Structure 1
Amino acid sequence: MSRSFCSERSGLEEVGGADLASGMAETAPQLPPAPAGPRRPAPRDAAPVEPLWRHMLGDRLRKLRHDRGETLGETAARAGVSPQYLSEMERGAKEPSSEMIAAVAGALGVTLLDLTTGVADGLRASRPAAQRSSGGRAAVALAA
């Protein structure tokens, strides 16, 4: 018996390959249909997400630094923080302490009041017109 692998394989197909394949299809377990379950409601118009304070702060810090034409390293050295930490602040990846914010504000030549007012103005401008018209009434209603 000096058959090659190909001839043995073709021999199997001739002898019982077709029967074997059809038999497997008949004995394969049938899966039950997936349960219908409750349908998810169609997505509603989601309310716009307000930006986080730390993201708006970071945008403001980056703008101030760019306006001065400074690198991260230059501003960070004057503020007493690492360039990596200042970068994380600018990207909104860190929730910096008030001391860190004050140090960076001082390094950028602005007061803490000016910096936080600029961030608050940016937050106000990012709100949809419908929310802007209510002014502080929404905050009072939430507090009640």
Structure 2
Amino acid sequence: MSSHASDQARVIPLRPVPAEPAEREEPTPREPLWRDVVGDVLRRERLAQERTLKDVADAARISMPYLSELERGRKEASSEVLAAAAHALGLGLADLLALTHRRLTLQARPRPLGSRTAPRRTEARSRPGDVRLAA
């Protein structure tokens, strides 16, 4: 056996070899960020009412740049700010949440049966007198 062949046998790649393009899985779609969806709903509602950022910001008693950042999904708003923005648009907080929920469900892609985000919990049946500890 030559020394060259034995040297090749000892080489271990540092990085895994990429799979062939046909074998690669499709990338998992990313879940939308809450702030992006809420901001989109706020902007769509404001534009549907043909109102300006200044008008809605003044009615909500928040700054116009902050409302703009909310609409663009750049800031996470507190529940108080969300309620103020919703009320300025003539919505209740529940209305804003319902519109956001509707938008999220429209964006969601159906998952194949059997795919879950969390593993199934299997619980052993206990017998009388068994002590079970909470995990």
Q: 2:64 aligns to what? A: 83
| Structure exhibiting the larger radius of gyration computed from Cα positions | 1
* Structure 1: unaligned runs, 5 residues or longer: 1-34
Matched, 1:122 2:103: yes
Paired with 2:95 and 2:37, the residues of 1 have a C-alpha distance of 14
* Counterpart residue identity of residue 48, structure 1: P
Paired with 1:138 and 1:100, the residues of 2 have a C-alpha distance of 34
* Counterpart residue identity of residue 38, structure 1: R
Secondary structure at the residue paired with 2:95? helix
Q: 1:65 aligns to what? A: 46
Paired with 1:143 and 1:105, the residues of 2 have a C-alpha distance of 38
The CA RMSD over aligned residues, in Å, is 2.6
After TM superposition, the score normalised by the length of structure 2 is 0.69
Paired with 1:53 and 1:143, the residues of 2 have a C-alpha distance of 26
* Counterpart residue identity of residue 53, structure 2: L
Secondary structure at the residue paired with 1:129? coil
Q: Where is the helix percentage greater, Structure 1 or Structure 2?
A: 1
Per-residue deviation, 1:37: 3.6
The 5-angstrom pairing of residues 27-66 of structure 1 reads 37-42=14-19, 44-66=25-47
Paired with 1:119 and 1:99, the residues of 2 have a C-alpha distance of 17
* Structure 2: unaligned runs, 5 residues or longer: 1-11, 122-135
Q: 2:129 aligns to what? A: none
Identity %: 39
The 5-angstrom pairing of residues 99-110 of structure 1 reads 99-110=80-91
After TM superposition, the score normalised by the length of structure 1 is 0.65
Deviations 1:47-88 (A, max 9, x none): 111111110000000001001111100000000001100000
* Counterpart residue identity of residue 49, structure 2: R
